[in-house]
Structure 1
């Protein structure tokens, strides 16, 4: 099943080069989440072996995902901190198995370690999804540049220890755009050509900040680069309602539709079928 949306606002042409495949992002794509972790806040431990991971990847693709985002480290507040070797151990053969079973799939690797990027590149990844903006590993950006892969640049605080600290922003949109302007210039200098922006929902922002980000999403990045939205099961949606992550499907769907109207190019989510049905 392929996800498609007809939206008159989606007028800008964006594409990324994934290992020689030109992917058109002017038509929004769904990125399905595959957590290879025992401690993720919503699905920890469900897919942390090869068989269940492969089955879930198949489900995500059948339900409309074009991209599978593979991550081995939870970045929720108070999560266990893993080194690169442990991430690699957890990933194991999952990436190569998915590529073998579903060769048309695109795989993004959710990591902030250069060594994990090198491993993932050898296994066949198509995109690097780095929450750290290259700030947690000084060699990561140079490594990404050498691979030639597209890079997802996320707005975040400067250190692992501070990534969830709430910062008082005069205006969250202005702050995000200033951050992106500086970081994109750095990425260009490094030789990274294909860049996707991620506003960093859930990382160091207040509830009010995050709803402003949704309402003014089309101002983030000034429309110069494709942009990803990742709000699936984030606490700013369910906590104010006194609910649990799996109890806000309707609220999340409404916000996803709003983000698509505001010209999101990629929606990162746990259940792509929610946008298909």
Structure 2
């Protein structure tokens, strides 16, 4: 899954692709480098990012989905949003997957809307509100806590008729560095082996901060961790550096 940020303020590539021409060119590069999905985000969710309305997300997305679908009809497109109105918009534009960092907690209509579209849904683990989503929680056992949270959410989703679910343990959202490395070491125990697991560790601070490096300087370390999670059963990697990750996948 290649990342396409339509944002001026994302932490490592903000402002690079936030117009239709540059977004389409970057989507083309992601696909040529070997991406299966393009994950479009109109709102940065880094710490202290500007909080946007659904209307502003839709404005930023504009015609990008339909343009990509026209040029590259084989491309799968996910929209990274927690708003029901953005899901409705994306569905009408031709999106394929909903990627929600909130687990439906930031918009009361989100999950009902996903059920109506019948689109696959990426369920990410995070804290319960936008305001505290980066607040570090000290878990007694992060794996147990993840699975308990996922089991409750999956039950809620299935009651609504949402069965096509991908799980994302939420690296970078309210977890300590130690817990995130434990998540990598024990990734095979996350998610009950019933649902595909998506791992999003690309340019995350738990990797680069302890090393004293910039987010764009940790590709080797990230690929080593990618190798580990793939060998333990992860199915999807959400990444900025598609070509390098595709080369790793080919080696396995």
| TM-score higher than 0.5 | yes
Q: 2:135 aligns with which of 138, 145, 165?
A: 165
CA distance in 2 between counterparts of 1:141 and 1:49 reads: 29
Match of 1:213 in 2: 183
- Helix, strand or coil at the partner of 2:192: helix
Answer yes or no: is 1:38 the counterpart of 2:8. yes
| Deviation of the 1:276 alpha carbon | 2.9
**2:206 alignment partner, one of 236, 255, 261:** 236
Report the CA distance between 1:112 and its aligned residue: 0.1
- Aligned partner of 1:196 in structure 2 is 166
Taking the aligned partners of 2:237 and 2:245, their CA distance within structure 1 comes to 10
Q: How does 1:58-137 map to 2 (within 5 A)?
A: 58-137=28-107
> What is the distance in 2 between the residues matched to 1:275 and 1:269?
8
SS at 2:123's partner residue?
A: strand
Task: Tell me the C-alpha RMSD between the 2 structures.
Answer: 0.5
Q: Deviations over 1:131-184 (max 9, x none)?
A: 000000000000000000000000010000010000110000000000000000
User: 2:25 corresponds to which residue?
Assistant: 55
TM-score (norm. length: structure 1):
0.89
- Once residues 255 and 208 of structure 1 are traced to their aligned partners in structure 2, the CA distance between those partners, rounded to angstroms, is 14
Pick aligned residue for 2:156 from 186, 211, 215: 186
Residue 174, structure 1, aligned to residue 141, structure 2: no
Give the Cα–Cα distance (whole angstroms) in 1 for the partners of residues 241 and 29 of structure 2: 9
1:153 to 119, 123, 135: 123
- Which residue number corresponds to residue 246 of structure 1? 216
Q: How many residues align?
A: 247
Distance in 2 of aligned mates of 1:107 and 1:139 = 22
Higher helix share: 2
Structure 2 residue runs without a partner (length 5+): 248-252
Structure number with greater CO (CA < 8 Å, separation at least 6) is 1
